[in-house]
Amino acid sequence: MSNRVIICEASEIITNGLYEIIQSINGFDVVARLDTPEHLSEKILSTDANIVIINPNLLGFTDRNLPSTLVKDYPHLVVIALVTNYMESSSLKGYDGIIEINDPKLKVINKLNQLTQDNDKQEKADDVELSKREIDVLVAVAKGMMNKEIADQMSISIHTVISHRKNITRKTGIKSVSGLTVYALLNNLIDENEVYK
């Protein structure tokens, strides 16, 4: 599915430049351009956007919490600050990422790709339904056990262990052992002191 982007920026020059960069990225499409955040929520709904790039300077004092509100209302929305002048880092805490006015094209592309990949992984993690046996294998992997050790401990073949590991990777989107260990820790499947150093 393509990433649907809304740009919210008062400067037409900046908006057009950002539009050109985003349209050049495979799998990205700018679906709306707004010069104020006034109708942002309606636009997100009508375009089914999953990315909003907004200049924080457009937000008045009462709108400062808009990024957090948007994420609550649209859980899979990525909200990116478009920073055109110096801002305190504390005022950018509610954003998923930051694009700065002087970022080169390649950096903007990399940031957008990274942020959307992270969001995809989170969506996959939200939908994960691991079987009891897959959880057992995941815990063993997180504890640093090798396939043969897992097979011996669970009285199953190495082929079955590998099959479970493939299913775990497919369901979680996580390929590395360290990534699976973090996943197991975050989901309280193992305790920190159970992880092999």
pLDDT in tens, 5-18: 999 999 999 999 99
132-194: CATH topology is Arc Repressor Mutant, subunit A (1.10.10)
Q: Write out pLDDT tens, residues 111-155.
A: 999 888 866 555 545 555 788 889 999 999 998 899 999 999 999
pLDDT at residue 119, rounded to an integer: 61
Range(s) for CATH 1.10.10.10 in the chain?
A: 132-194
| Crossing angle of helices 147-154 and 132-142, rounded to 10° | 130
Predicted structure pTM score: 0.61
Alpha-carbon dihedral angle through residues 97, 101, 106, 111, given to the nearest 10 degrees? 0
pLDDT at residue 184, rounded to an integer: 86
With a CB cutoff of 8 Å and minimum separation 6, the contacts of 3 are 27, 28, 29, 50, 51, 112, 116
Could you tell me the pLDDT band of residue 1, with boundaries at 50, 70 and 90? low
What is the mean pLDDT of the segment spanning 88-102? 89
Distance CA 114, CA 91 (A): 22
What is the mean pLDDT of the segment spanning 82-88? 92
β-strands 78-83, 97-100: how paired? parallel
Range(s) for CATH 3.40.50.2300 in the chain?
A: 3-126
3-126: CATH topology is Rossmann fold (3.40.50)
Place of tokens 């294998």: 137
pLDDT at residue 159, rounded to an integer: 87
